[in-house]
């Protein structure tokens, strides 16, 4: 994921902000524009909560559609889960760099898991103003509906429906 990306060789790649693996990461707070990410010392707890929530939702969805997406309602539920995964990763912002790419990988992974096509390109980030607005909305207030609408729109375009 970091190929072609300039990184600080003193910071251990793959470590979360707040990690004791690096002094720089222990207190590394970030912001996107004027919107701050979760404070570094809260990253571990936020990620544990995030993992529990997503795991529960995936288990429920796995049981409801073992063969993947089969109807519009199931596709919408999968897209909502993918959007929430993306949005929460962006909101928490656990890495010093690479959060957007990771969020798009996670979103696409959920879609693929349920036999839907990946719809978010990794690099460069999607250039759409709608995508940027949706990601900023997730970061600012934890409301991931806009990214969900964006994912559904991209799926509709992929399947040729409107």
**Predicted local distance difference test score (pLDDT) of residue 59:** 95
The topology under which CATH files domain 45-159 is Fic-like fold (1.10.3290)
What is the mean pLDDT, run by run of 10 residues, along the chain of 162 residues? 63 78 82 85 94 95 84 91 95 89 95 93 80 86 91 88 48
pLDDT of residue 21: 78
CA 52 to CA 122: how far, in whole Å? 25
Instruction: Specify the pLDDT at position 162.
Output: 43
Per-residue model confidence (pLDDT) at position 2: 56
Coil, helix or strand for 126? coil
Length of the chain: 162
């Amino acid at each position: 994921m970091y190929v072609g990306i300039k990184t600080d060789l003193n910071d251990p790649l793959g470590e979360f902000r707040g990690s004791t693996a690096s002094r720089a990461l222990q207190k590394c707070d970030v912001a996107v524009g004027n919107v701050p990410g979760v404070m570094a010392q809260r990253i571990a707890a936020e990620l544990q909560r995030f993992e529990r929530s997503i795991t529960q939702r995936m288990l429920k969805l796995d049981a409801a559609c073992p063969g993947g997406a089969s109807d519009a309602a199931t596709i919408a539920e999968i897209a909502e889960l993918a959007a929430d995964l993306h949005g929460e990763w962006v909101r928490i912002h656990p890495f010093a760099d690479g959060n957007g790419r990771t969020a798009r990988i996670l979103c696409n992974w959920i879609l693929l898991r349920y036999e839907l096509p990946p719809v978010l390109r990794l690099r460069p980030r999607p250039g759409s103003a709608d995508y940027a607005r949706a990601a900023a909305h997730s970061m600012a207030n934890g409301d991931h509906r806009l990214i969900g609408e964006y994912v559904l729109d991209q799926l509709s375009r992929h399947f040729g429906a409107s």
